Amino acid sequence: MLITTSDLAQELDSPNLVLVDTRSYKEYSQGHIPGAVNLDLFAFHWFDTSKEGLQSFNEQSRKILSFVGITESTKAVFYDDVSGMLAARGVWLLLYFSHTDVFMLDGGIKKWKAENRPLETKSNGFTPAKFSGKINQDIIAGFEYIQENLDRLVIIDARSKEEYDGMVIRAARSGHIPNAINIDWSLNLSGDGTIKDQATLSELYKFPNDAEVVTYCQGAYRAANSFLALKKLGFKNVKVYLGSWGEWGNKPELPVV
């Protein structure tokens, strides 16, 4: 699910490639990888994992991906400043729709620029298509599933220590989900913005490979990055809690530590 800058450079002219810059339009307009379209994924938070909420999420996501021009035969590459949370969210989203030909640019545009690779400032328009995609229930979790399985899941809180400890409050309640282990998502990254190698990552995530792991943060962006790190390590059963603390922390009936 990671593509190197050199491999991407060789594929920029491929008609099958949809290259998505997930940063803000301001950043995009100041310089982006040639051919990239802009989709600021941070605009699409989702805090409702009820049955109805997920149906709406599926419908909205399909419309967005169709608008961008992704089809079943597309190779999609998402990039960010670094191997960041926005690009990771894009990768997770396509995997959720069972589209496996999807990658995050390892090191993001920071590494691309450091290697003096080409940039452009003109905006590239979308070429809308029809994206349907089959839902992959194996990589998503809702609040009910987590509540019912609290005692058997490995729950990773990808937020900062301050959010986890309740010092920084970003919902009606502070704290974290019971039994959750705090591993800040930023620890997944090396100094050059790439995802750390497997040996280093394995020191962070010391769990059995067959464990069922759920990652969460505030809005499932940082959690998506941790999802990719765990998949890189070979974890088979990893889910992202889409609603994350934005949902859990605002539901008074759910347990909090």
Supply the residues annotated as catalytic.
Answer: 217
> What's CA 53's distance to the chain center, in Å?
19
Instruction: Compute φ and ψ for 89, nearest 5 degrees.
Output: -60, -40
As a whole number of angstroms, the distance between CA 162 and CA 170 comes to 11
CB 207 within 8 A of CB 183: no
Task: Mark residue 220 as left, alpha or beta (left: phi above 0; alpha: psi -120 to 50; beta: remaining).
Answer: left
CB 128 within 8 A of CB 211: no
Q: CA of 172: how far to CAs of 30, 86, 166, 243, in Å? A: 37, 25, 11, 14
